[in-house]
């Protein structure tokens, strides 16, 4: 099945019980089945708060997002979105991430950032418009870069004290700043966090990251010079690691894991 983003349900979807992406805080209300979960479908969702947000259609069925302050129905349980990765349909999980971001945006844009007047939904696009001063605000996302830096047969990995797992290492990442290209951002973040220079920066892929409202834009790069010097602000420790002797790394579907897997697979091909 395929998801298509839209603001208004199509006539074909009308009358079908929609998919409901209902959150209490960071937890999504899902229906358990053995070790898997799915998103419920009801004509209406009991206990939801406010007007639901129409996200689009998945398999020709409307997807609605809402918050709730109450308790879930008896057949559902609240589970943190992170914990649901790999335990539910991948496309439904991605839509759930979108729902989480839109609900956060809706909550933060109830009032105009320019004059403070209550905002209203813009009819023809996903945006908020102030009826008082006319300011239009679109859903915001913070672009961030993430990069796998390779030096000969080794990968640069770093550890941050802010990681949930204090033993985990990952590739370098950071937020984009106004006025710089993505490639300039990659080089700056590596320089600031570990003190080395890089070259041959190439695009790898991207991933929406709902937990911080980011779009993670991945790159690969090669070492160009300098000695590793962790800044001890963002980075507590860093080093060069061969593919057959990696420290503890991210273990589920993030672009950081995809970049590390790319390095491991590249090393295996070179070893053949």
**76 in Cβ contact with 30 (< 8 Å):** yes
147 and 135 in a common domain = no
Query: In terms of C-beta density within 10 A (0-12 exposed, 13-18 middle, 19 or more buried), how is residue 133 classed?
Result: exposed
Say if residue 131 is in the same domain as residue 148: no
Q: How far apart are CA 167 and CA 136, in angstroms?
A: 44
**pLDDT for the residue numbered 86:** 82
Please provide residue 40's backbone torsions phi and psi, each rounded to the nearest 5 degrees.
-75, 160
135 in the same domain as 53: no
Both 75 and 184 in one domain: the answer is: no
| CA–CA distance, 90 with 252 (Å, rounded to integer) | 12
Q: Give the domain extent around 198.
A: 142-271
* Domain end residue (candidates: 107, 125, 156): 107
pLDDT at 123: 84
125 and 148 in a single domain? The answer is no
The CATH number of the domain holding residue 184 is 3.90.79.10
Can you give the pLDDT of all 272 residues of the chain as single tens digits? Answer: 789 999 888 888 878 899 999 999 889 999 998 889 999 999 988 778 888 999 999 999 999 999 988 888 889 999 998 888 888 988 999 999 999 999 999 888 999 989 999 999 998 889 999 999 999 999 888 899 999 999 999 999 999 988 767 789 999 999 999 999 999 999 999 999 999 999 999 999 999 888 778 899 999 999 999 999 999 999 999 999 999 999 999 877 789 999 999 999 999 988 87
User: What 8-state DSSP symbol labels residue 84?
Assistant: G
**Whether this model's pTM surpasses 0.75:** yes
Q: Are residues 41 and 148 in the same domain?
A: no
Note the helical H segments in the chain: 90-108, 182-194, 255-271
| pLDDT value of position 12 | 82
Residues 97 and 114 occupy one common structural domain: no
Same domain, yes or no, for 56 and 159?
A: no
């Amino acid at each position: 099945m395929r998801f298509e983003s839209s603001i208004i349900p199509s006539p074909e979807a009308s009358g079908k019980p929609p998919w409901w992406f209902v959150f209490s805080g960071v937890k999504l209300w899902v229906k358990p089945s053995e070790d898997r979960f799915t998103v419920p479908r009801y004509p209406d969702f009991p206990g939801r708060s406010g007007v639901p947000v129409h996200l689009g259609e998945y398999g020709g069925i409307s997807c609605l997002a809402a918050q709730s302050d109450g308790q879930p129905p008896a057949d559902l349980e609240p589970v943190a979105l992170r914990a649901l990765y790999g335990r539910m349909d991948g496309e439904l999980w991605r839509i759930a991430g979108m729902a989480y971001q839109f609900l956060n945006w809706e909550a933060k844009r109830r009032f105009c950032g320019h004059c403070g007047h209550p905002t209203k939904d813009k009819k023809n696009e996903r945006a908020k418009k102030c009826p008082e001063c006319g300011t239009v605000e679109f859903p915001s996302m913070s672009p961030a870069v993430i990069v796998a830096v390779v030096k000969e047969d080794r990968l640069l990995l770093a550890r941050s004290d802010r990681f949930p797992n204090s033993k985990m290492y990952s590739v370098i990442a950071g937020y984009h700043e106004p006025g710089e290209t993505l490639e300039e951002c990659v080089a700056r973040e590596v320089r600031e966090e570990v003190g080395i220079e890089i070259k041959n920066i190439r695009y790898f892929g991207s991933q929406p990251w709902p937990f911080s409202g980011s779009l993670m834009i991945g790159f690969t790069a090669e070492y160009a010079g300098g000695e590793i010097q962790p800044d001890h602000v963002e980075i507590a420790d860093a080093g060069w690691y061969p593919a057959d002797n990696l420290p503890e790394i991210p273990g589920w579907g993030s672009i950081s894991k995809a970049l590390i897997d790319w390095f491991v697979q590249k090393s295996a091909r070179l070893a053949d």
